[in-house]
Amino acid sequence: MTQTAASVQDMAHHLHPFSDNKQLKESGVRVIEKADGIYIYDNQGNKIIDGMAGLWCVNIGYGRKELGDIAKNQMDELAYYNTFFKTSHPAVINLSAKLAEVAPAGFNHVFYTGSGSESVDSMMRMVRHYWASVGKPSKTILIGRWNGYHGSTIGGASMGGMKGMHAQGGLPIPGIEHIEQPWYYGLHNEGETPEEFGLRAANWLEERIIEVGADNVAAFVGEPIQGAGGVIIPPSTYWPRIQEICQKYNILLVADEVICGFGRTGSWFGHETLGFKPDIFTTAKGLSSGYLPIGAVFVGDKVVEGILQGGEFNHGFTYAGHPVSAAVALKNVQILQDEKIIQNVHDVTGPYMQQKWREMLAQFKYVDDVRGVGLIQGFTLVKNKATREMFPNEGETGTALRDIFFRNNLIMRACGDHIVASPPLTITKEEIDLMLATAEKCIQEFEANMDAKLGA
């Protein structure tokens, strides 16, 4: 990357999240100045395909002027007011009605936040408050999964299963348990089918519940598809069995829909695609397509009823239901509906992209476990496909390929040695072809480098 004046100035005053800031000072940062559709543009004239929709969030694509107009009008009318103290406002009232309309049956209430992490933190406190409200205060333990991602606040990072995050700042906080992720490729036994593995992986939950005592467990929390963990899609048997276990032991089932929600998998919500019914689900990202920060916890009727018995919920954010964010989120949801964007992902672009990745990636010897649904995609870099041996120094190989993508003006992401894509939901077939042609060239370069390195 070339150091531009803007990059030098950035490094002088800006500490970046999820970055080695010392290293960044040497390499410099890419400065993105504008964006349109699936493209972002940097300050050196590069037109870059955004295969990640920002951070999995720009579902309707960049540059939709309607959202700016809505934001301006709302700011002129009512720039800010809170939703505490017996108060509301039209923007949040309208958004809530719309969200209840697009949510599955049984979800008629939302609790607002400013981000995915805040949605997860709010959910964590809410499920404990729920059990206390219905006379079971001992049910406090939350069970999540290794390699799950639930945000960066102390609660969210504890709920998540990212060991690198736990290693900093004394996490996880008490009362959180983790079970292994349902990654068939990496964890199945010889001869085990995906369906058999899915049941075995779900049963890890039952084992943990028995270990800590069902009377102590509040909820199981999982992303329908683990996103930042590398797009880990469980076998079809996994979620139905998880749901059965939660019912058997009277434990709330929570879906973290921050990535999967609002169309990513070809349904409004990921749990609809994966075939289960949570009691609560958390959202953010695609709720506003990232145009403004906003998150929402969708609370099922059973949990609402319980909470209503519990008196005041001592929890809330200054910007909960922020009028400008709410107005923009409403318009975003209307665009998803009016333009039938999710339907198109389900019927056309999702299946098309899945097929094209599979066809294109078949030629490569260090690429395996190609997987995806809708417009979320992952594959894994492995040293030996026959033995499923991974590369040493997890993440190093993924980052090497990721950097080649960047140099070729394609944004994809490496999660360890899993490579993932999550383009805007508005991407066309032609744009998918272009993205994959670029990716193909990059992976060819990567394999040539790797052959040279391994002496193959």
Question: Quick one: which of 64, 150, 264, 322 contacts ligand PLP (CB under 6 A)?
Answer: 150
The distance of Cα 264 from the centroid of its chain, to the nearest Å, equals: 9
Q: Which CB atom, from 38 or from 296, has the smaller least distance to ligand PLP?
A: 296
Q: If binding is defined by CB under 6 A, does position 124 make contact with ligand PLP?
A: no
The pairs formed by 94-101 with CB atoms below 8 angstroms and a separation of 24 or more are 94/326, 94/330, 95/321, 95/326, 95/327, 95/329, 95/330, 95/333, 98/330, 98/333, 98/334, 99/296, 99/298, 99/333
Q: If binding is defined by CB under 6 A, does position 83 make contact with ligand PLP?
A: no
Instruction: From 175, 183, 180, 188, select the one nearest 204 (Cα to Cα).
Output: 180
* Rounded Cα distance, 231 and 419, in Å: 9
- Tell me how far, at minimum, the Cβ of 233 lies from ligand PLP, in Å: 14
Part of the chain binding ligand PLP (CB under 6 A), chosen from 8-16, 89-97, 111-119, 350-358 = 111-119
Task: Please state whether the peptide bond connecting residue 224 to the residue before it is cis, i.e. omega within 30 degrees of 0.
Answer: no
Q: If binding is defined by CB under 6 A, does position 230 make contact with ligand PLP?
A: no
47: phi then psi, degrees, rounded to nearest 5? -100, 120
> Interaction with ligand PLP in 240-299: which residues (CB under 6 A)?
256, 258-259, 284
Part of the chain binding ligand PLP (CB under 6 A), chosen from 18-26, 110-118, 137-145, 319-327 = 110-118
- Tell me how far, at minimum, the Cβ of 114 lies from ligand PLP, in Å: 8
Specify whether the CB–CB gap between 332 and 354 falls below 8 A: no
Q: If binding is defined by CB under 6 A, does position 151 make contact with ligand PLP?
A: yes
Q: If binding is defined by CB under 6 A, does position 149 make contact with ligand PLP?
A: yes
Q: If binding is defined by CB under 6 A, does position 198 make contact with ligand PLP?
A: no
* Distances, alpha carbon 140 to alpha carbons 17, 212, 358, in Å: 31, 11, 43
Q: If binding is defined by CB under 6 A, does position 322 make contact with ligand PLP?
A: no
> Interaction with ligand PLP in 382-441: which residues (CB under 6 A)?
none
Question: Quick one: which of 42, 50, 121, 223 contacts ligand PLP (CB under 6 A)?
Answer: 223
Q: Contact residues for ligand PLP (CB under 6 A)?
A: 115-117, 120, 149-151, 223, 227-228, 256, 258-259, 284
